[in-house]
Structure 1
Amino acid sequence: MSVKGSCHCGAIQFEVETGPTELTDCNCSFCAKRGNLVAYYQPSSFKLLTARDRVSTYQWGAYMGSHHHCSICGCGTHGEFPDFSSGEADYDHPRISINVRLLENFDLSPLPVVYLNGRDDW
């Protein structure tokens, strides 16, 4: 069953095919300051329901990933990154990270949280 999410003002809306089964809490400088709690999806499982030109993007460092957010209310909505599950950047298998705090009518409390040490590992 699909799950929808949106930024605070509703200008950016998205949908994922299924609810997350695991959450990731990263302590890298960006995620820590943003308060991120994310779930990862294949690009085919993510659908942006808003026109792409309404989405603002932030990139930094080596420009490996794109952090997307609403230019109106400022909420970070999703990101696009290579798959790092092997320890190396796999650009052939990108992943979408969504801010699970923006999901509508979805209880996150029973889901396991993986803590990622992005501060020291990157």
Structure 2
Amino acid sequence: MLYRGSCHCGKVAFEFKARLTGVVRCNCSICSRKGALLCAVPHESLTVLAWADDLSTYTFGNHAIAHRFCRTCGIHPFAEDVREGSERSAYINLNCVEGIDISVLSIFDFDGRSA
């Protein structure tokens, strides 16, 4: 199914294709502070509709994930693997996606602090 989402102000918009069966709640230092509920999709399933200077990046630790956020409103709608190749993933913050009732999805707790 095709889903659409955005940051709060709408300057960073995106689409992705996925079959949503659950969400991941990661307890790493950044995901827990953001309150992100994530869905991992193949990177090629993500289409960013607004880019330019509106989208910024934050990395930390081993810099394996590029955490994307809107420079205007500060919302973190998704993150991306930075590795090369076809195995890259995008991690969508489902709190930024239109028309999803997260309360009906199973939540998988991921121990990102230990990873």
TM-score (norm 2): 0.90
How many residue pairs get aligned? The number is 114
Structure 1 residue runs without a partner (length 5+) = 83-89
Give 1:17's aligned residue.
Answer: 17
Equivalents in 1 of 2:73, 2:90: separation in Å? Answer: 21
Equivalents in 2 of 1:67, 1:20: separation in Å? Answer: 21
Residue type of the partner of 2:46?
F
Equivalent of 2:110 in 110, 113, 116: 116
Give 2:90's aligned residue.
Answer: 96
Equivalents in 2 of 1:54, 1:34: separation in Å? Answer: 19
Q: Please tell me whether the aligned partners of residues 68 and 79 of structure 1 are also in contact (alpha carbons under 8 angstroms).
A: yes
Equivalents in 2 of 1:36, 1:45: separation in Å? Answer: 19
Equivalents in 2 of 1:9, 1:107: separation in Å? Answer: 21
**Cα shift readout 1:77-119 (whole Å, capped 9, x = no counterpart):** 110126xxxxxxx754111001100111121221111101112
Q: Please tell me whether the aligned partners of residues 3 and 19 of structure 1 are also in contact (alpha carbons under 8 angstroms).
A: no
Q: Please tell me whether the aligned partners of residues 23 and 111 of structure 1 are also in contact (alpha carbons under 8 angstroms).
A: yes
Equivalents in 1 of 2:38, 2:51: separation in Å? Answer: 22
Aligned-pair RMSD on alpha carbons?
A: 1.6
Question: Where in structure 1 do 4 or more consecutive aligned residues deviate above 6 Å?
Answer: none
Equivalents in 1 of 2:68, 2:38: separation in Å? Answer: 13
Equivalents in 2 of 1:50, 1:116: separation in Å? Answer: 30
Relative to structure 1, the CA distance from residue 64 to residue 103 in structure 2 (aligned partners, 3 Å threshold; closer, same or farther) is same
